[in-house]
């Protein structure tokens, strides 16, 4: 029987767990809302990931926690910063220098990773919802749609509205005003996705943009945002495998390496 290692990434909106074998393959995972109790969500996610991996209690050799709630995971053997874990997960998958753009629910970050897998530079946006999944959720509600359809609307648009506000509250007011004036909703959706990408690209330019650019986090599934990133960067931005699990996967890989 092989050994198993777990990584848990507790974000403000979702808690992610990845369990890997000693061959670095994910054998079980879980993604749950963080809710009011991060520690409770963490334990439930761990249990679900174990069940999917058909692992009984005591068979996980080591566990590493990351994310803003990492210090709430009492069962973790180590706590490691999310920048380190995201970089580790991305480099394991790509194997070369890259720029990683991680767009989560409440924050976003860009990380320049060297050809040896080290973090060269990084920048995080933690204090403003602009450029995050939360921003897109609020705007989708203003458009009376959901996130998936909002992406489709944006991709179908023949042009895009100019969204001037970076603040979520002001941007929502701006969207409501555009709707009231009869502006096509597809064009508004396109403008919103473009503005998110614009914010992220500004961050990416500060850390440096490698030839390879990958996107992680839940917003990586938004094709309109990824398309806007590619256009503004002038190169393909690609969704990394299992984008929501990247941080947890990196944490599990670090758990495997701990002596």
* pLDDT tens digits, one per residue of 239-254: 999 999 999 999 999 9
DSSP run (H or E) holding 138: helix 133-142
E strand or H helix at 93, and its extent? helix 82-94
User: Hey, which residues does 5 pair with through a beta bridge?
Assistant: 20, 62
What confidence category does residue 20 fall into, taking pLDDT thresholds of 50, 70 and 90? very high
Of all residues in the chain, what percent are helix, strand and coil, respectively (each to 5)?
Answer: 45, 20, 30
Cα angle 154, 226, 245 (rounded to 5 degrees) comes to 125
How many whole angstroms separate alpha carbon 71 and alpha carbon 10?
Answer: 9
Is the Cβ–Cβ distance between 175 and 140 less than 8 Å?
A: no
Taking alpha carbons only, the member of 22, 26, 27 closest to residue 55 is 27
Q: Is the dihedral of CA 185, 191, 192, 193 positive or negative?
A: positive
pLDDT in tens, 206-220: 999 999 999 999 999
- Whole-number pLDDT of residue 166: 76
Q: Would the pLDDT of 1 be above 60?
A: no
Nearest to residue 104, comparing CAs of 78, 81, 73, 136?
A: 136
156-210 pLDDT, tens digit each: 999 999 998 878 888 899 999 999 999 999 999 999 999 999 999 999 999 999 9
**H or E segment to which residue 202 belongs:** helix 185-207
Contact yes or no for 187/160 (Cβ under 8 A) = yes
Angular region, 157: left φ>0, alpha ψ -120 to 50, beta rest = beta
Structure tokens belonging to residue 185: 């909703």
30-89 tens-digit pLDDT: 999 988 888 889 999 999 999 999 887 668 999 999 998 898 888 889 999 999 999 999
The residue ranking higher by pLDDT, 196 or 127, is 196
CB 202 within 8 A of CB 208: no
Determine the Cα–Cα distance for residues 77 and 64; give it in Å rounded to an integer. Answer: 6
């Amino acid at each position: 029987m092989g050994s198993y290692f777990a990584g848990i990434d507790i974000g403000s909106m979702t808690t992610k767990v990845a369990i890997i074998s000693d061959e670095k393959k994910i054998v079980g995972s879980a993604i749950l809302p963080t809710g009011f109790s991060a520690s409770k969500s963490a334990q439930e996610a761990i249990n679900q990931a174990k069940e999917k991996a058909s692992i009984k209690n005591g068979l996980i050799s080591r566990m590493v926690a990351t994310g803003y709630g990492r210090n709430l995971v009492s069962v973790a053997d180590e706590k490691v910063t999310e920048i380190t874990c995201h970089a580790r997960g991305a480099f394991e998958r790509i194997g070369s220098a890259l720029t990683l753009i991680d767009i989560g629910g409440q924050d976003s970050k860009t990380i320049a990773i060297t050809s040896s897998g080290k973090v060269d530079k990084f920048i995080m946006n933690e204090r403003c919802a602009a450029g995050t999944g939360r921003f897109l959720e609020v705007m989708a509600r203003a458009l009376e749609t959901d996130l998936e359809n909002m992406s489709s609307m944006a991709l179908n648009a023949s042009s895009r509205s100019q969204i001037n506000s970076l603040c979520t509250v002001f941007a929502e007011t701006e969207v409501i005003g555009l709707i009231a004036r009869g502006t096509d909703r597809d064009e508004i959706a396109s403008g919103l996705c473009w503005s998110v990408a614009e914010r992220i690209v500004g961050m990416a330019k500060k850390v440096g943009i490698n030839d390879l650019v990958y996107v992680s986090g839940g917003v990586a599934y938004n094709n309109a945002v990824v398309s806007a990133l590619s256009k503004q960067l002038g190169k393909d931005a690609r969704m990394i495998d299992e984008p929501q699990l990247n941080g947890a996967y990196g944490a599990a890989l670090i758990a495997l390496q701990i002596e």
